[in-house]
Structure 1
Amino acid sequence: MASYDLIVIGSGPGGYVCAIKAAQLGLKTAVVEGRETLGGTCLNVGCIPSKALLHATHALHEAEHNFAKMGLKAETPTVDWQQMLSYKNDSIGQNTGGIEFLFKKNKIDWLKGWGSIPEAGKVKVGDETHEAKNIVIASGSVPSSIPNVEVDNEIVVDSTGALELKKIPEKMVVIGAGVIGLELGSVYRRLGAEVTVVEYLDAITPGMDAEVARNFQKILTKQGLKFVLGAAVQGVSVEGDQAKVTWKSRKDDSEESMTADCVLVATGRKPYVEGLGLEALGVEMTERGQIRIDDHFKTSVDGLYAIGDAVPGLMLAHKAEDEGVAIAEILAGQKGHVNYEVIPGVVYTHPEVATVGKTEEQLKEEGRGYKVGKFPFLGNARAKANHSAEGFVKILADKETDRILGAHIIGPMAGDLIHEVCVAMEFGAAAEDLARTCHAHPTYSEAVREAALALGDGAIHA
């Protein structure tokens, strides 16, 4: 029986980052992982493969729509779907292999297999039981579905199945207008599929700043995606190689249906905790099946902690990473902490959408005085030169103190641009601090500065 200071269950972004940080801080650490490769959902069937397909299909879009405008004369590329999937798989392999290298570098043991916790302080993997002073559950999440919809990952697929389709569908229905549905829907739209997104609510990207969401939908519609909003899916039936999706309008209860070659069920994710033995241990859970934790990630069982998608909060890889670092620091005797007020979110379509902090709707609900600074990418020289001038930057600041409360960007490289606002918020900066910071010209980042200037005397280029 091996003994460790820490055993982490799960090697996704939360788990592997937690393990590496713990090892760096001197803790003897092991990670339990049953997949053939490390990295969890994110690296194997989530973040990384989806971004590879988004990158490849965006390059196709550029060739089809913008190359000729820039004087690049060539035949429109044809799509070799199997080669594109191979490229995607190569991206996965490079990243998962990198995590394995980091484990060896930091002397972290990989306990290969699926783990359970027979009692506090012990983890069973296969026929072997290992002791640990502390255990961190970082088991992640799996796709969730809705009633009367059965996923077969051939015709009716979840996010995992959508990354491995045997062929590009002619017609696809996406159930759910959240991040996953819009990203993968964009991939297949660029590849030529007719894509219809069916959403229960009356707006896409639930929880996003409403103004950004409206503009985002307009841009995606212009790209060819179709939207059916306020629609409650009643079920999906498969006949041969086709699937029929039926929904009712929440407005007038009328029923409609659509037939497609592929239906993507993108209705969110749920914690993956099956097989861990939590019920027998007496671990307290929430009503939503999440592991209940305190402010220091501790469960109701001594020595047992949990992070990431398995616990309440945003289901984001980088949120899990920050929690992994924080709990490793706590277990090493330090003061680990996560600032949940500054967790950015990104949609990796084109244009990208990025957000951090409060939305206007949240500030209104709180009754907080605020002001808005906006700047369109149409006024940004780099964006115009690069055929990327759709969208805008929107910054929200306290009406009295000018402190930045949130930012919402739809436009080129939004997922990277958001982070200068994150750093500013982390240090409690005012919008004027951002406005007075010199930004290189010509860059997309100037649009962020201009939005900050708009909160004061006014933007220069608007």
Structure 2
Amino acid sequence: MQPEHFDVVVIGAGPGGYVAAIRAAQLGLSTACVDAWVDARGNPSPGGTCLNAGCIPSKALLDSSHHYHNLRHLLPAHGIDAKEITFDLARMQARKNKVVDTLTRGVKGLLRKNRVESITGLATLSQGKRIEVALHGGKGHRILEGKNVILATGSVPIHIEVAPVDGERIVDSEGALAFSTVPERLGIIGAGVIGLELGSVWSRLGSKVTIFESLPDFLPAADRKIASQALQSLTRQGLDIRLGSRVKRARAHSQGVSVDFDDHGGASALEFDRLIVAVGRRANTEGLDPAAAGVLLDEQGRIRTDADCRTDAEGIWAIGDATSGPMLAHKASDEGVAVVERIAGGVGHIDHRLVPWVIYTHPEIAWIGSSEADLTEAGVDFRSGSFPFLANGRALAAGETTGMVRMLSDAATDRILGVHILAANASELIAEASVAMAFDASAEDIARTVHAHPTLAEALHEAALACDNRTIHL
């Protein structure tokens, strides 16, 4: 079988892969994109984990459950009372599925519009830059050859021996998005991004949620003051977050799941109706056979790349979750664009120091740049400014006063080094910090920028003022 030749072959159609393929086509490169994901009906479903079983469906359920929670707990303070409040989980799930279907169909349309050759199947590398694709549904094979190959195979949930996932009683993050009933007692292993978001969904809908976290600190990557306040807020919402608790064994049975664990009090056990394993994700290289093409993996099984996303094999690149760095959709997308523009002879810029993080609990947690601990460890002299949303007019009017903004700036130059936010809509507020830091702005630049009143964004303005000890409204 003769190979089909392309300028660029992208393996994986998640946020990194499909964006790379579209940008390559925009730049006039003949492009193929191979993806193995299909929906429940067996139809191609590009978008990767993010669209199909991660970012998008989880946010759809977070939004639905948040409306229900507000109806019960927030709106009465606004003078809005509703009697006999109920919810229909089947309709929530149907809405979630419709959102996913709309977006995956949109990606298919974008690939088609940009004349990307979309191929559904499992790709395997061979010598050089040749790819064998086993087509979905046993429809044979295709052989592709690219002048350049971009590996964007994403990640999969980590499974652990002590809690074997069975898809029924013990599930991973994908299974936890598809519950048909609300578990009365829900256990979660892992108090990271996934565990907290899924715990929030089901807690709002009535589950008694217990989260086991083996680490002694809550969200160690986040700013310590933000993490402490977030832990207090989530605990008040009903999440039982047990730090320093290591699960020794989880056993599914006809009535639920028995979980044995060790904590500060010694050996203990609890019973749950369902258990979610959310201990992280690992690079997905299933079936890829990277070694056949000279692509090397690191000690964690991730595809090894340099700072420009090049692998050890000439002309083969890797982006997104399959490589080192944060497993974030927007990081993958920007890497995809950068790689393609390098292939086309352009600059291809991405600053990995300025990738924002967001946890979509309520309030949301977002940050960019360095934390106070990072700067202290590095010996950087810095100033900090904070402002609580309790003193923000818009937050007070909305009844969303939990949280704060923390801004860190260089003590000598005043350049912003990090911004950390706990707030309703922190995911939107962090964008101002992202833009400011991309242009090497100082805290003084933010302090002298007019912010509309009343807005939540005024808290960033006040935090910038606080870096120079001249906060107005506190």
- Shorter-chain TM band: over 0.9
CA drift of 1:293 comes to 0.9
**Deviating more after overlay: 109-118 vs 87-96:** 109-118
Task: Please point out which of 393, 398, 413 is paired with 2:405.
Answer: 393
**Deviating more after overlay: 306-315 vs 291-300:** 291-300
In the alignment, what sits opposite 2:126?
A: 118
Does residue 79 of the first structure (1) align with residue 87 of the second (2)?
A: yes
In the alignment, what sits opposite 1:217?
A: 231
In the alignment, what sits opposite 1:161?
A: 175
1:367-386 aligned at under 5 Å gives the runs 367-386=379-398
CA drift of 1:279 comes to 2.5
What value does the CA root-mean-square deviation take over the aligned residues?
1.1
Contact 1:64 1:76 in 2 (8 A): no
Contact 1:153 1:162 in 2 (8 A): no
Q: Distance in 1 between matches of 2:297 and 2:34?
A: 22
Say which SS state the counterpart of residue 234 (structure 1) adopts.
strand
Say which SS state the counterpart of residue 444 (structure 1) adopts.
coil
Q: Distance in 1 between matches of 2:423 and 2:236?
A: 15
Contact 1:120 1:304 in 2 (8 A): no
Q: Distance in 2 between matches of 1:146 and 1:154?
A: 16
Contact 1:30 1:111 in 2 (8 A): yes
Does residue 56 of the first structure (1) align with residue 70 of the second (2)?
A: no
Instruction: Give 5+ residue unaligned stretches, structure 1.
Output: none
In the alignment, what sits opposite 1:188?
A: 202
Say which SS state the counterpart of residue 218 (structure 1) adopts.
helix
Say which SS state the counterpart of residue 8 (structure 2) adopts.
strand
In the alignment, what sits opposite 1:39?
A: 47
Q: Distance in 2 between matches of 1:284 and 1:3?
A: 24
Task: Please point out which of 417, 420, 429 is paired with 2:429.
Answer: 417
CA drift of 1:72 comes to 2.1
Task: Please point out which of 118, 124, 139 is paired with 2:153.
Answer: 139
Does residue 108 of the first structure (1) align with residue 116 of the second (2)?
A: yes
In the alignment, what sits opposite 1:94?
A: 102
Q: Distance in 1 between matches of 2:308 and 2:424?
A: 37
CA drift of 1:457 comes to 4.0
CA drift of 1:76 comes to 4.3
Q: Distance in 2 between matches of 1:296 and 1:346?
A: 24
CA drift of 1:119 comes to 2.1
Counting aligned pairs with the same residue, the percent is: 45
Q: Distance in 2 between matches of 1:150 and 1:73?
A: 44
CA drift of 1:205 comes to 1.8
Does residue 284 of the first structure (1) align with residue 296 of the second (2)?
A: yes
Say which SS state the counterpart of residue 106 (structure 2) adopts.
helix
Does residue 13 of the first structure (1) align with residue 27 of the second (2)?
A: no
Q: Deviations over 1:322-365 (max 9, x none)?
A: 10010010110111121011100001111001000000111110
Q: Deviations over 1:167-213 (max 9, x none)?
A: 11000111111000000000000000000111011122231111111
Q: Distance in 2 between matches of 1:73 and 1:226?
A: 28
Q: Once superposed, which parts of structure 1, at least 4 consecutive aligned residues long, lie more than 3 Å away?
A: none
Q: Distance in 1 between matches of 2:84 and 2:300?
A: 48
Q: Distance in 2 between matches of 1:169 and 1:74?
A: 25
In the alignment, what sits opposite 1:444?
A: 456
Normalising by the residue count of structure 2, what TM-score does the alignment of the two structures yield? 0.95
Instruction: Give 5+ residue unaligned stretches, structure 2.
Output: 39-44, 135-140
Normalising by the residue count of structure 1, what TM-score does the alignment of the two structures yield? 0.98
CA drift of 1:295 comes to 2.0
Contact 1:404 1:431 in 2 (8 A): yes
Contact 1:11 1:33 in 2 (8 A): yes
